[in-house]
Homo-oligomer: A and B are copies of this chain.
Amino acid sequence: MDLDFTDEQVEFRDEVRTWLAENKPREQRPDDAAGIREYDLGWQRTQWDGGWAGIAWPTEYGGGGLSLTQQLIWYEEYAAQGLPGIDATFVGLNHAGPTLMTRASEEQRAFHLPRILRGEAVWCQGFSEPDAGSDLASLRTRAVIDGDELVINGQKIWTSFANIADYQELLVRTDATGSKHEGITWAICDMRLPGIDVRPITTIEGGAEFCEVFYDDVRIPLSSVVGTIGDGWSVAMSTLSFERGTAFTANQVRLAKIVEDLIDFARDHLGPDGRRPAIADDQIARRLAEVRAAVASLRAMTYVGICDAMRTDTPGPRGSMLKLVYADLCKEIAALGMDIVGADALRRTSRWEPNGWVGYYYYAFSQSIGGGTSEIQRNIIGERMLGLPR
């Protein structure tokens, strides 16, 4: 075993590091929807111009075709330089794009893939519904075939960036007679079509990262269906399994930085006794040490996972372990942050501001819910990894 990079990998890392340092956006990311769209697409265009767009994409689709180790390096460097994680180009690059590569027609790919890579289109996801959360396949947004169009009626929820997206990967029910996994269709939805109403959802942290999307007789051409009518569940499942890759590394690097920030904060902030700095409190110090160790082990787990993926090339349920640990850790760090903050817990902050621990605390609740609840992850680990009965 070793943690060493080969000479070429070291060279690659230096190249990435230098390029990122020279080209990463320097301005503060705007807060408003239009500003975010412009900023994120601009950064994507910069990456395209620099030859770094779609690092995980095969070269045949214009991507970087990087190896897993190179992706790991890219994401570590990316996060280490403070670049934000969830941006408007994420769904297109890591979700919709890969699905299109696997399941879309030649025309669909030719039209959409370059637009994603070049930073010309923002994608969003339209999977969850108010009554279809953990039980995604019970979705009810209805699509009726009318001539060469699908007519959509219903509602989606938890759609990030729906308000600035050009396209949506949309799951609809085209047949309600069979089992719930049958009769689902995966379609590309142009977000500017008439009948689409996007409403932002305010979260408990106060931000509005998510939207509800309402569909009132929205007409999508049948040519926008990916795969075949009724085969959408298998298309969607291929998307989900693609999602859990090396990109996770960036989360882990960011989390490590959050812990180091919290340690620094605990040195400066008065502790519970009002006399010594928080870090001098035995309990706070130990809890800080524990999360620091836990984040280190999450990194090791991520590395092991990537080494595993290099050998076997199948993602497997390890992604659920990483997600579960990550969620637990975020919440543990957030709760610790609140305890260090002390009576300042009464003041609303945003996790984006320096020492915005109160905001981070409320934000962290999303981590064990979104993208599959921790309960679902534990089921997956128990059943698929350990072979426990359902």
| Most chain B CB inside 10 Å of its own CB: which residue of A272, A282, A283 | A282
Dominant secondary structure of chain A at its interface with chain B: helix
Contacts of A284 in B (CB 8 A): 282
0/1 string, A277-289, CB within 8 A of B gives 1: 0000111101000
How near does chain B come to A278, taking the closest CB pair, in angstroms? 11
Contacts of A273 in B (CB 8 A): 282
Contacts of A281 in B (CB 8 A): 282
Copies in the complex: 2
CA distance A284 to B282 in the complex (A): 9
Q: How large is the interface on A (under 10, 10 to 19, 20 to 34, 35 or more residues)?
A: under 10
Q: Which residue of B lies closest to A284 (CB)?
A: B282
| Most chain B CB inside 10 Å of its own CB: which residue of A272, A281, A283 | A283
Contacts of A282 in B (CB 8 A): 272-273, 281-284
Task: Please report which residues of chain A, range 281-304, place their CB below 8 angstroms from some CB of chain B when the two chains form the complex.
Answer: 281-284, 286
Q: Which residue of B lies closest to A282 (CB)?
A: B282
CA distance A286 to B286 in the complex (A): 13
Q: Which residue of B lies closest to A280 (CB)?
A: B282
Contacts of A283 in B (CB 8 A): 282-283, 286
CA distance A284 to B286 in the complex (A): 11
CA distance A272 to B284 in the complex (A): 15
How near does chain B come to A126, taking the closest CB pair, in angstroms? 31
How near does chain B come to A225, taking the closest CB pair, in angstroms? 39
Contacts of A286 in B (CB 8 A): 283
CA distance A282 to B286 in the complex (A): 10
How near does chain B come to A173, taking the closest CB pair, in angstroms? 27
How near does chain B come to A29, taking the closest CB pair, in angstroms? 39
CA distance A354 to B272 in the complex (A): 34
CA distance A282 to B283 in the complex (A): 6
How near does chain B come to A59, taking the closest CB pair, in angstroms? 53
Q: Which residue of B lies closest to A276 (CB)?
A: B282
How near does chain B come to A286, taking the closest CB pair, in angstroms? 6
CA distance A283 to B286 in the complex (A): 8
How near does chain B come to A103, taking the closest CB pair, in angstroms? 39
CA distance A272 to B281 in the complex (A): 13
Task: Please report which residues of chain A, range 237-285, place their CB below 8 angstroms from some CB of chain B when the two chains form the complex.
Answer: 272-273, 281-284
CA distance A273 to B281 in the complex (A): 13
Q: Which residue of B lies closest to A272 (CB)?
A: B282
Q: Which residue of B lies closest to A287 (CB)?
A: B283
CA distance A273 to B285 in the complex (A): 13
How near does chain B come to A234, taking the closest CB pair, in angstroms? 32
How near does chain B come to A276, taking the closest CB pair, in angstroms? 10
Contacts of A272 in B (CB 8 A): 282
CA distance A206 to B110 in the complex (A): 73
How near does chain B come to A375, taking the closest CB pair, in angstroms? 15
CA distance A281 to B286 in the complex (A): 11
A281-B282, A282-B282, A283-B286 given; name 5 further pairs at CB < 8 Å: A272-B282, A273-B282, A282-B283, A282-B284, A283-B283
A selection of 8 A-B contacts at a CB cut-off of 8 Å is A272-B282, A273-B282, A281-B282, A282-B282, A282-B283, A282-B284, A283-B283, A283-B286
